[in-house]
Every structure is written in structure tokens, then in C-alpha cells.
Structure 1
């Protein structure tokens, strides 16, 4: 990486968690950790429906892991509502090993990405520009 391309920003992300039989959350975090030049932290709330302005105003992106959607629809709905209310970009990650995503998520996502670490990081960095 060239020195003038260095990105020192620490991206504040919400990553969907919940019932996750295939450990997509763990695999996704491993992808982010593999990019040592990408700085990020995760913000977690006990209830995304009730988290307030102070919580959401610092969020740079919401990561929606499409593979866990069916078992966690309420969580996804809360995060989609927050995304719209606070103008936060959503990065939809396809189910691991599959191309299709739930239509409701596709319609509301800022961008859709697969499981390539470089593509994930690029999507997070550029999501705000796509809104």
C-alpha cells in the first residue's frame, strides 16, 4: 500500500449477530481481521430498536449477513429501520457459498458483496458514497 493511500479511519460497524448455525458471523469477522490495514470496531446494543441518536450517529455502516436472515428477521428489521432513519449505509453480505439474497434485503441494501476480504473492505469504505 502506498503511503498516500493509507486510511487511518477506524470504521464503526454494526454486524448482525443472532442465531447463526453456520458461524457466518465468525467467518465474516475473520475476513475483516485478515485485512490488517483496515481499522474497525463493532458497536453492539442490547436492543437496536431502542438505541438512540447518540448510538447511531457514530455508526459508519451496518453489515447484514444474509445467511442468518431467516432466523433473525426482527433484528434485521430493526437495523433496516435504523439505517433509514439515521441515513446509515447497509452492506449486504451474500449467504456463504450462495449468490441469492432475500429480496427484502436486496431492495434495502446500499451495496451487496460476497466473501472476498478485499471486496468487503472496499464496500464498507465506499458505501457512504453510494447513498
Structure 2
């Protein structure tokens, strides 16, 4: 659920940066996506503003990040500094809504959590 349309705003920001090549991976169920799927993932990007309404999906992604050693880039809600503590603890990096900062954080996220 995305009542504030954060996800479309986020993807619009990334697509606006034509010098940054990225691939969006959406699976019907991240819980059931196997090793083959996650071995192709370089970073998991979580929009922390969506956590409250999507806890099960976030939990599946947090577990996968830990299991497959994938860094998490956490994007704070637009205009807010605080993020859920569980997400902050697991994130390799936390960033705001500036497109350049998001891209830099994706590129520079530590390989281990």
C-alpha cells in the first residue's frame, strides 16, 4: 500500500537521472523468491515511509538481505528525518529524497551490513 504515492515519486527521480542505469525488480512475493533471484540483486532499496502498511514485505526483504548479504539502502520519508528503528538498524545507509544523493548511496552502499 502506498497512500502517498512515494514509490512512483521515487522511481521518477531515478528515471530522471539518465546517466544512472538501474533495473527495477518486482516480484509477486519476496518471501518465495529464491536464491536465483536474490543472487542477481546488488542492493535492496526500501522506502521507509511504506513500512507501516507493508510490514510483511519489508520483513521478507530484510530477511533476504541478511541471508544473501545484500546491502539495504533506506530512503527516509519525504521531509522527515526519523525512520523505524528496525529499518535503521539493518540499513547499510540512510538517505533523503534528493535523486543525486539516492544514486550516490546506491553506488556507495557498503557491501556488508
TM-score in terms of structure 1 length: 0.83
Higher normalized strand content (fraction of residues): 1
Does the residue aligned with 1:92 lie in a helix, a strand or coil? strand
Q: Is the 8 A contact 2:74 2:94 kept in 1?
A: yes
CA RMSD of aligned residues (A): 1.0
Residue 76 of structure 2 corresponds to residue 94 of structure 1: yes
Larger radius of gyration: 1
Q: Size of the alignment, in residue pairs? A: 113
> How far off is 1:97 after superposition?
1.3
Distance 2:83 2:61 in 1: 17
Structure 2 runs not aligned, ≥5 long: none
> How far off is 1:130 after superposition?
5.9
Distance 2:43 2:31 in 1: 16
Structure 1 runs not aligned, ≥5 long: 1-18
Runs (4+) of structure 1 exceeding 3 A deviation are 128-131
Please name the residue that 1:59 is paired with. 41
